[in-house]
Structure 1
């Protein structure tokens, strides 16, 4: 049976150990050899716009990330754009989550469980990926961890005998934290049914149910306008494939590990506030909820429920604590060293994957690498085209590399049009502009990741290049491709 008494001496700042550990993991290879992939490029190029331009853009695209873009705009304004500024918020977000998980685990199951959970969080493969990602998912995980810690504290107080009542200010903080999570990614509201299940499993008293319902309703109401407005931009997720059986292998493995942790937690009663009653709903409900939503509309991407890894970390903490308890009778002195040894072994076993996630090859492409090739191959007066138009992100992130090159297809810039990729001219105008050029640089996807060309403008671009130009240089680098075309000389 897990008990806080099965623990080393108390340390009021235990949460600092996983926090510092996670920051160290995040700073390790943070620049990914100076690479930035397409999703991060969206953050970068939007964050460099004015606040007014960002608000204008959100009316047309990416409203679900509006709060995050404004946050990054402020950071870029203060510290300048760069990979460190782009990714450091995610590092700090997961560090906060690790600290919260440590406190939760310690309160519910003792020091070994808390410390194990906090240290394990940063090592989880999915967490390592988004730990160094310039997107909002790590910040959502941090908010979910804070909200769960607040709920655990309020439940513990609410279940005490006597007249003690949860404080209103903490319920306001709980609702506010869930609201911010929802504004960063409205799918994070799956946190609420997870917390609801925790309340049901622990048979929370009425004095807890009423303020929780009020805080949850207020947070949901605050996010509802964003949900409704974002439905008009649902074509942004139209590329997500329908749910298939093989997509459920990952969640099944996670739930199996979590189930093992729940078995080893062994609370005194089924209704006790424990790692099982907090961690298992936090892991299972978002995963299963996303699967359910994906049956209606394809949405199954693990990053949308990254915060469910908090539950997995708590249950892994239960497994590690059980190992320490099992070793104590036979190795009373060595049992204290078991947790660091297990974490070190996990670190070694995961090292190849950790290195892979910190390499440019871990992402689909590299916007900055292809910009360097454009700088090398392009010359003053050359024209440049993009297929698809979204590959214009290369210029938006590295404008200096495109100095002297003319974007002959662009009609209205992304800033002017309030879009991510700008508005291109008609196919006929693009054709006429291309025929007036001597040299054209084409920026597109590498062959292995390129999708079939479907847009009429892009088909015209390829047709003119094939009929009237010949490729003289073709370079592929980290998922992107730059081809230099020269006009075919026609005999007179």
Structure 2
């Protein structure tokens, strides 16, 4: 195929040797302003991720991050011994951050925006290594403007850091394969360790990386490549192994809710991967273009492995005792998909066709980008208004009875606590031991709810927060808690706040 006879031209790279174009080796050294493509891409991604970063109210997983990060270091480590160990690295990082910058919604999410900015830099560096300057520009723009980058760049969870670690590991692997020295393998080990510590599922990237190494070895027949890779992997996994062992003991509490995936779930995951169904399928169409090149298929094939193989493997292993198949767990594949799409669009001829494709792809995500920055984009629960209702009529000594029991995973208590003013101190009337005392994310609830209330003779009023939708102000409270409140208290007033109900009850005389 030649440029004159097809709409897709091979991206042989500017300033690259012929052998590099054929075999997918790295580009020649880049000089001048092109060396700093990664910087503008990082800045653009950071700015986009920060726009409206505090608009959406945090959802329950973010509130779990806040609750953990707000603890003293000793209390946090104690909690990790019992639950959420796999999130420990992120919680410790966030703990240090909020101790300096505070815990406003925008500040809780700022580290994720910074991580996505770092990932953008590595996306551009990888594009420049495997393809050319045009692909690098397209990749930087596309990555910054894919809705999922904003979604997880505006979320106080570890996923943006996983994307950063895997994007860095992929570029560092390519560098090490150019010149397999200890000085180049060691950064790759560090990136692998970071990926595993922030989310162990991301270590699925080791399989496509190993296949890339095997392919390069087949060309060079140099045992330095597989030997260096194996050593780098061992070093990178050393700090992750204890986490994996501890996480396995906690898996029942962490992801037992995930079900065995079906084939239709592959389509569902792909639809959600970019946080926009339209963008996801347009991205896939653009990503397939590089595989049509007559030359230079090696870079596209290597990226396709990084993009698709972890998803396929996660689907297969999730048919075992534990499922790991969830779109955000596999978000780390997004940079590779973006790179493939950018390479495809960048190779279209005439060049304006590629620019038009990029504009269309970005435009498809505009509606989703706007939605991500609305108040209820992450959660339909309005914790702020609930807290305002309580704070308005609060009296010192008031109690608190949030819906927990089987529904504790919805973290309604965290939702309210996050927004309560500092001068509002509520007694958790059905907590036998606080979460801090139990070294857990949740408090230990009273087995005998009535006895707990009898032990709190001084608590004249209790704020009950549970689900709305029925006339029952105690809807979804555990049976014992509902009976104890009915027996000892009378309803003073009840206020519906979206899908929650705030009820003030007072001790019967």
Scaled by the length of structure 1, what TM-score is found?
0.85
CA distance in structure 2 between the partners assigned to 1:396 and 1:204 by the alignment: 59
Contact kept, 8 Å, 1:137 with 1:304, in 2: the verdict is yes
CA distance in structure 2 between the partners assigned to 1:466 and 1:237 by the alignment: 35
**Runs of 5+ in structure 2 lacking a partner?**
1-9, 17-29, 272-279
Q: Return the match for 1:318 from 343, 367, 372.
A: 343
Residue aligned with 1:485, SS: strand
The aligned counterpart of 1:80 is 102
Residue aligned with 1:121, SS: helix
Matched ranges for 1:94-173 at <5 A? 94-155=116-177, 157=178, 165-173=179-187
Matched ranges for 1:216-231 at <5 A? 216-231=233-248
Q: Return the match for 1:376 from 374, 384, 392.
A: 392
Aligned residues: 463
The answer on 1:462 being equivalent to 2:482 is yes
The aligned counterpart of 2:276 is none
* CA deviation vs aligned residue, 1:283-335 (integer Å, no higher than 9, x gap): 11221122123212133221111111011111111221123xx114xxxxx57
Contact kept, 8 Å, 1:262 with 1:318, in 2: the verdict is no
CA distance in structure 2 between the partners assigned to 1:204 and 1:488 by the alignment: 83
The answer on 1:290 being equivalent to 2:293 is no
The aligned counterpart of 1:71 is 93
1:438 offset after TM fit, Å? 4.8
1:118 offset after TM fit, Å? 2.0
> Kindly tell me: are residues 485 and 299 of structure 1, through their superposed partners in 2, closer, same or farther at Cα, counting changes over 3 Å?
farther
CA distance in structure 2 between the partners assigned to 1:3 and 1:187 by the alignment: 34
> Kindly tell me: are residues 438 and 80 of structure 1, through their superposed partners in 2, closer, same or farther at Cα, counting changes over 3 Å?
closer
The answer on 1:22 being equivalent to 2:42 is no
* CA deviation vs aligned residue, 1:255-290 (integer Å, no higher than 9, x gap): 9954752443545568x641x133211111221122
Contact kept, 8 Å, 1:18 with 1:99, in 2: the verdict is yes
CA distance in structure 2 between the partners assigned to 1:279 and 1:2 by the alignment: 14
| Alignment RMSD | 3.1
Worse-matched range after superposition: 423-432 or 130-139:
423-432
Contact kept, 8 Å, 1:105 with 1:113, in 2: the verdict is yes
The aligned counterpart of 2:328 is 303
Contact kept, 8 Å, 2:165 with 2:192, in 1: the verdict is yes
Q: Return the match for 1:3 from 4, 8, 12.
A: 12
CA distance in structure 1 between the partners assigned to 2:498 and 2:319 by the alignment: 34
Worse-matched range after superposition: 125-134 or 424-433:
424-433
**Runs of 5+ in structure 1 lacking a partner?**
158-164, 329-333
Contact kept, 8 Å, 1:378 with 1:441, in 2: the verdict is no
Scaled by the length of structure 2, what TM-score is found?
0.82
CA distance in structure 1 between the partners assigned to 2:43 and 2:415 by the alignment: 34
